[in-house]
Amino acid sequence: MIWYFGLIVAVGLERLAELVVAKRNAKWSFARGGIETGRGHYPAMVALHTALLVSCIAETVVFDRPFIPLLGWTMFALLLGAQALRWSCIASLGRQWNTRVIVVPGMPRVTSGPYRWTSHPNYVAVVIEGIALPLIYTNVITAVAFTAINAIILWLRIRSEREALLLLQVHQ
């Protein structure tokens, strides 16, 4: 169980690293006339991702969840794949990547890396992670609750991204 808690802390530290990159990229984007949409759902998204980490620990302790090797190691492999996909997205988008929805007029839409197969590969990573991380230690309640709430937030987020792309067309 201790190693699982260490993994949760590592994922939390990874999220903090993302926020550092996002803050740097936001500054770069705004300096180039970046336009932000979707501010309203952002605090809920941050709260949900924080709750995921806290809930993984809480559910493990409160319900004395077992580690089932076949499930746990399979979910761990999926988690690693999701992390690789997320950082591939960050690398592909470069300075345009952010945890917020910010678009820069004149910047081309990225269609390389995982974006050549889908418009939202980072969200695929988030969905996989939201299922895999809790299920490493059979935290079914956390996996289901996160996935349900995350579906709503992703719907809002994708809507905000479409709105941002429309704003770009107006500004060009």
Structure tokens at 163: 């709105």
Domains held by the chain: number: 1
Task: Give the predicted TM-score (pTM) of the model.
Answer: 0.92
pLDDT of amino acid 172: 57
Give the three-class secondary structure for 103: strand
How confident is the model over 30-59, as pLDDT tens digits? 999 998 998 999 999 999 999 999 999 999
Q: What is the pLDDT of residues 96-138, one digit of tens each?
A: 999 999 999 988 889 999 999 998 999 999 999 999 999 999 9
Q: Which domain holds residue 86?
A: 2-171
Around Cβ 152, how many Cβ atoms within 10 Å? 12
Single-letter amino acid, residue 85:
L
Question: Residue 17 sits in a domain of what CATH number?
Answer: 1.20.120.1630
Rounded to an integer, the average pLDDT of 11-29 is 97
Q: How far apart are CA 103 and CA 43, in angstroms?
A: 19
pLDDT at 95 over 80: yes
* Contact of 127 with 147, CB cutoff 8 Å: yes
